[in-house]
Structure 1
Amino acid sequence: MMSLRLPSRQELAYSVWWNLFLLTAGSALFAAGAQGIAVHHGFLTGGVYGTALLLWYGTGGFSPAAWYLLLNVPLFVLGWFCVGRRFFLYSLFGMLATTLFGEVLRFDFGITDQFYAAVACGVVCGAGGGMMLRSLGSGGGLDVVAVLLNRKWNIGIGRFGFVFNCVLFTASLATMQIDLVIASLIQVFIASVTLEHVLSLFNQRKVVFIISDRSRAISSEITSALKQGATVLQGRGGYSGDNREIVMTVTNNVQLKRLEELVFTLDAHALFIVENTFTVLGANFARRKVY
């Protein structure tokens, strides 16, 4: 009887169906926040969708989703020649899904307070955007241009988004009330924080440095008892000048306490240093996202 083998984390991350699921669910969540909250309060969401909302508020013509689609056309034409095909096709799917959900989702969350609406919209839109960026693509819009500029001229992706939103919100002052602009800024800030949390979900790691006279024994126990890798670095005491071996390992929040117990059981006088890290690529960890 054949046993069913579950895919590894790396295999799942590169699975077509998993990426389509992330893009579909993320685009639905983003569109729900934009159409169910932002539209009813006159907010801007930032990015290309925020530009679409600003055009819709000013003209009353096409729907925000239709403006979003039209604004993305030249961006994707440019992206076809400049970004990887896999990133392009996944992002095209994400953009079309966002457009479709933006057209069909026409409900109201029923939030009346402007501040509460800005917070809720930021959380929902940020969670949706984060889910899309956890895939091998994106929701289109600024992400395609940002990747292009980063590859061609080494312009930071986050920096480009910040500059674009500054221009967008400055332009919105000509047609929008200052209260709405400020509420929109609050929404965009909360969305960016939520997006970062979604991106770091299950990816947060701890880099641990252990300085001890029993570094070899500690390194051996880490690999045998905790089943995780360890690297022994060569160091030298700043005061004594004595050579020291420093154990470096990467772990998660679940294993951290076990690691701490292991180290101080072997050496009660060890120096145990923990640093947070956002991204760990290679080996048994995540694979590099190729655009």
Structure 2
Amino acid sequence: MSAKLLKDYSLITIGIILVAISVEYFFVPNNLAAGGVTGLAIVINHYMPFLTTGVLVLVMNLILFVIAFIFIGGNFGAKTIYASFGLSFVLWFIEKVLNPIALSKDLIIASIFGTFLSAIGMAIIFNVNASTGGTDILAKILNKFFHSDIGKSLLMVDFIVTLLAAITFGLDIGLYALLCVILNGLAIDRVIEGFNICKEVTIMSSKNKEISEYIIHKLERGCTLLKGVGGYTGDETVVLYAVLGRTEFIKLREFIREIDPKAFITVGEVYEVLGEGFKEFDNI
């Protein structure tokens, strides 16, 4: 296994552990069926308490994978299969070995912290181009047979789960579950953006040659030199453009401070960078 694959599977493992903790210590004890297969498992567990959440998630994922394989093909990817069944195993392990209890019975605290942990875990998994199966598979099936958008299909599935939660556990808990679904979607996007944030830097300096060499040879990043004309002076100038990671930008800033304190620098944040040295198009 390559170093990148090992890193990806390690990150997926961390992600599913965080999701499992949110489910077993915040959602299940408070009957918060916050969408997806795990939410549906919480509802079913209420009627069939002899079946644990982990076992239900495993059985439903198996059924969904079989149905999806028959009707929409088997293009799931090894990472998604690992994440799906890995989550089921971790849920089962926590239930059988650790005997989890609610870390808080306050529904607001359980909703916020459960969603926070779940969003971080899911974001880590999504960021390495994997998913935990379940809801995604249901959405793809709805998309194929009813021609609905994937995003709308996901929302529809989660809404049905929270509706079942409201019928099973009462309207208050159902509304809290719906709140978790909404917050989870927003939080996942924000966390993924945080993982991928880079610094977009433009520099005007008399030491552009030294700065570009530092970026290329020391930071091992590319940069572009753009010809420009000063709006006030009318003189020709050169603008250096580069996209860097956060730690790389800090190193560059210190280097520029040493060699040209009068340099003019603008810095912006970009939330996704594709191409050489960053995320490859094949990994989208």
TM-score over 0.5 for the alignment? yes
| Number of residue pairs aligned between Structure 1 and Structure 2 | 278
Find out whether 1:68 has 2:57 as its counterpart: yes
Residue 108 of structure 1 deviates from its aligned partner by 0.8
Q: Which residue identity is paired with 2:43?
A: L
SS at match of 1:14: helix
Once the two structures are superposed, what CA deviation does each residue of 1:40-68 show, in whole Å capped at 9, x if it has no partner? 11102222222232333456574333332
Once the two structures are superposed, what CA deviation does each residue of 1:140-172 show, in whole Å capped at 9, x if it has no partner? 112345678999xx9876565345434443454
Counterpart of 2:176 in structure 1 is 183
The range that moved more, 161-170 or 104-113, is: 161-170
* Contact 1:206/1:250 (8 A) holds in 2: yes
Quick one: distance in 1 between partners of 2:3 and 2:143?
A: 27
* Contact 2:38/2:53 (8 A) holds in 1: yes
Find out whether 1:273 has 2:266 as its counterpart: yes
Quick one: distance in 2 between partners of 1:52 and 1:70?
A: 10
The range that moved more, 213-222 or 25-34, is: 213-222
Counterpart of 1:45 in structure 2 is 34
Residue 74 of structure 1 deviates from its aligned partner by 4.7
State TM-score, norm by structure 1. Answer: 0.72
* Contact 1:208/1:275 (8 A) holds in 2: yes
Q: 1:220 to 1:89 in 2, by over 3 A?
A: closer
Quick one: distance in 2 between partners of 1:117 and 1:56?
A: 19
Q: Which residue identity is paired with 1:184?
A: A
Quick one: distance in 2 between partners of 1:146 and 1:245?
A: 50
Q: CA RMSD in A?
A: 4.1
Find out whether 1:284 has 2:267 as its counterpart: no
Find out whether 1:97 has 2:90 as its counterpart: no
SS at match of 2:77: helix
SS at match of 2:201: strand
Residue 283 of structure 1 deviates from its aligned partner by 2.1
Quick one: distance in 2 between partners of 1:150 and 1:217?
A: 54
Counterpart of 2:134 in structure 1 is 141
Quick one: distance in 2 between partners of 1:93 and 1:226?
A: 35
Quick one: distance in 1 between partners of 2:235 and 2:142?
A: 48
Unaligned runs of 5+ in 2: none
List aligned pairs for 1:5-24, cutoff 5 A. Answer: 11-15=2-6, 18-24=7-13
Q: Which residue identity is paired with 1:248?
A: Y
Identity among equivalent pairs (%): 22
Q: Which residue identity is paired with 1:268?
A: K
Once the two structures are superposed, what CA deviation does each residue of 1:202-221 show, in whole Å capped at 9, x if it has no partner? 54311112356765554344
Residue 231 of structure 1 deviates from its aligned partner by 1.3
Find out whether 1:56 has 2:50 as its counterpart: no
Residue 249 of structure 1 deviates from its aligned partner by 0.7
The range that moved more, 133-142 or 238-247, is: 238-247
Q: Which residue identity is paired with 2:27?
A: A
The range that moved more, 118-127 or 195-204, is: 195-204
Quick one: distance in 2 between partners of 1:125 and 1:77?
A: 26
Quick one: distance in 2 between partners of 1:23 and 1:119?
A: 22
State TM-score, norm by structure 2. Answer: 0.74
Once the two structures are superposed, what CA deviation does each residue of 1:181-205 show, in whole Å capped at 9, x if it has no partner? 3332443455445545654565431
Once the two structures are superposed, what CA deviation does each residue of 1:18-40 show, in whole Å capped at 9, x if it has no partner? 44433334333322321222111
SS at match of 1:248: strand
Residue 227 of structure 1 deviates from its aligned partner by 4.2
Q: 1:233 to 1:205 in 2, by over 3 A?
A: same
The range that moved more, 239-248 or 65-74, is: 239-248
Counterpart of 1:169 in structure 2 is 162
Find out whether 1:207 has 2:200 as its counterpart: yes
Q: Which residue identity is paired with 2:32?
A: F
Residue 98 of structure 1 deviates from its aligned partner by 1.8
Quick one: distance in 2 between partners of 1:180 and 1:165?
A: 15
SS at match of 2:221: coil
Q: Which residue identity is paired with 1:273?
A: T
* Contact 1:233/1:246 (8 A) holds in 2: yes
Counterpart of 1:228 in structure 2 is 221
